[in-house]
Chain A
Amino acid sequence: MLDHTAALLALTLSAGTPLVFAALGELVTEKSGVVNLGVEGMMLVGAIAAFATVASGGSLWAGVAAGAVAGMGMALIFAVLALSLQANQYASGLALSIFGIGLSAFVGKAWLGTAIQGFQPVSLPGLSAIPLLGPALFKQTPMVYLAFLLFAAISWLLYRSKAGLVLRAVGESPESAHAIGYAVIRIRYMATLFGGACCGVAGAYLALSYTPMWVENMTAGAGWIALALTVFATWRPLRVLLGAYLFGGVTILQFHAQGLGVAIPSQLLSMLPYLATIVVLVLISRNSQMIRLHAPASLGKPFLGGG
């Protein structure tokens, strides 16, 4: 029983990991006052870039790097449109998602049905011997650990470093940040590119670690769920992490419900993560005061000053 619980926990963690990468990346972007709805597109392009790299002989980590670069490239398109050319952020992000879905399917055609050897679990010596939690947390593929690291780094960066302070200032009040001499547009560019890189890594995780193969639209809405997670987490990293694993748990539940003797058709069970997203979104959003208190004040609003 204990083993079974540990195994479920481990699966939950691995299912939540792409959401950790993508939602933390989007969190940083949104903290700078920019909403990039292109997460789904950036993840897919990151996934195919990573997969193509590995399938053509690159190492797994080269694949991860390729995913990050591809995600960043996608974010750059968005940034040019939304930050330099001042296009509507919502529309630009949607365009990025539509483009990314098309681009990844186009490039991926050549790799459909190809199999690769993905990341293998690595037990962290000592830590993995802890009862229950050890095997769940510390017998994972390296990218799961990378997600832990990213969480720690972003939490520290946002709240303990000067760079984080500047970033948050730009998201709260770009006019003031500009007035005291910070290059608002450049900082927003950097935050957007960082978010894109994280989403690309999230895609790479899907294609190299979670299900090491290429399937068209393999994100299946995870990008949109990641966007909802930032709202759910009221823009706080720890709650992003917990929320991502919560959704990971819902995803795993869906696979294991049948094993537990629940006779519900698979399609209806597959609705669970999306239903959960709506429910959670409603629960959080109805407290509009909390949203207003925590959302970056300039979220989604263009900054027109010099940069």
Chain B
Amino acid sequence: MMFKLETRPVPSAWMRYLSPVLAALLTLICGMVLFAALGRAPLEAFEVFFLSPVQDLNGVTELLLKASPLCLIALGLAIGFRANVWNIGAEGQLTLGAIFGGTLAIGFDGSSSPWLLPGMVLAGMLGGALWAAMAALLRTRFNANEILVTLMLTYIAKLLLGYLVDGPLKDPNGQNFPQSIMFGDAALFPMLVEGTRLNASALLTVLAVPLAWLFLSKSFAGYQMQVGGQAPAAARYAGFSESRSIWLGLLISGAAAGLAGVGEVAGPLGQLQPSASPGYGFAAIIVAFLGRLHPVGIVLASLLMSLLYLGGESAQMSLQLPNAITGLFQGMLLFFLLGCDLLVNYRLRRRQPVVRASSTAAAKVEA
């Protein structure tokens, strides 16, 4: 080995911020190699994947449309992750948010009340929070691992949505398709930019960023949670309640994911469908890590992740590559980030040429 690892005396602040950038670059390089291996010109593929999706207004609004739920969910998850609360089931909480908000829209179909949409938003947050609360209850009361419980609840949530759109909430005039009626105008977020799909739910995300920042950096509860995550023993000694952290972490992230779910059904989808999200709940986990569990970082990371979604769609259309390439890139990004994070605590040193062995040999000869 030419290099060796050396423990840094203090973790490098520089590397903390550089390592996501490094990870993105390595993913890019790997992606180019992958394109080349698939027989596509890497530069052309790069253009199709990363540049062409955002070349016009429509592309930019699509980027924001996808970044918004990712950012929102990741902000919620980051609050829990900081306290070592591993909510991995945001996808399920998103689905419940979609179900709760959507049911309200269907129940009040034809209503033109200005209160319908706010009601849906609240219902969605409540749905997501309730789904997460089950995990919180089972964790605090019975010590059941929240990773596994939230994941199982995700599968249950997806089946529940599948049942509803194929049963009670099915559109009677929908030619037997498993989907609900289209929502009325009062149950849809107004458009922000005419002629695009970007809607007002993105504003809720814009609002959530400073709120999350305030909670994480300025509130006592946020501080307690952070201490609990970094030094559980110290937190116990200080009398900070672990179960309160678990409840807060799960309820906040569940509500955020539920809100994102309403944003989908009352936004681009406009109805309940068997699936409410193209995996935003899972991708948001990567966004949270990539953004260093910090609101500003999460905003940037969600834009990058959203670009990956658009790039995947664009690669599917222009290069006939499977859309699943998005998931591949997402996973790769997280791998590289985790790998690069080594450099926060260690630094690479070029190893001194090995002279010791030969000098001892020389010493022996002399003797």
Contact = CB atoms under 8 A, between A and B. Distances in A.
Chains A and B come from one and the same complex = yes
B366 to A, nearest CB: 33
Contacts of A88: 338
B110 interface: no
B144 A98 contact: no
Nearest to B325: A106
Interface of A: 37, 41, 77, 80-81, 85-88, 90-92, 94-96, 98-103, 105-106, 108-109, 216, 220-221, 224-225, 227-228, 231, 265, 267-268, 270-271, 274-275, 277-278, 281-282, 285-286, 288, 291
A216 B279 CA distance: 14
Contact of A85 (B322, B334, B338): B338
Interface in B116-175: 138, 141-145, 147-149, 151-153, 155-156, 159-160, 162-163, 166-167
A81 B335 contact: yes
Interface of B: 86, 88, 138, 141-145, 147-149, 151-153, 155-156, 159-160, 162-163, 166-167, 282-283, 285-286, 289, 322, 324-332, 334-335, 338-339, 341-342, 345
Nearest 10 pairs of A and B residues by beta carbon: A102-B327, A99-B331, A105-B324, A267-B163, A87-B338, A109-B322, A95-B334, A286-B142, A102-B328, A106-B324
Contacts, number: 138
B327 A98 contact: yes
A271 B144 CA distance: 19
A291 B166 CA distance: 41
Contacts of A81: 335, 338-339
A262 to B, nearest CB: 15
Given A81-B335, A95-B338, A99-B328, A278 B149 contact: yes
Interface centre among A41, A108, A225, A267 (most CB of B within 10 A): A267
A95 B333 CA distance: 9
Contact of B159 (A80, A270, A285): A270
B339 A281 contact: no
B163 A87 contact: no
A286 B86 contact: no
B342 A85 contact: yes
A101 B152 CA distance: 17
B86 A271 contact: no
Nearest to A266: B163
A90 B86 CA distance: 9
Contacts of B328: 99, 102-103, 106
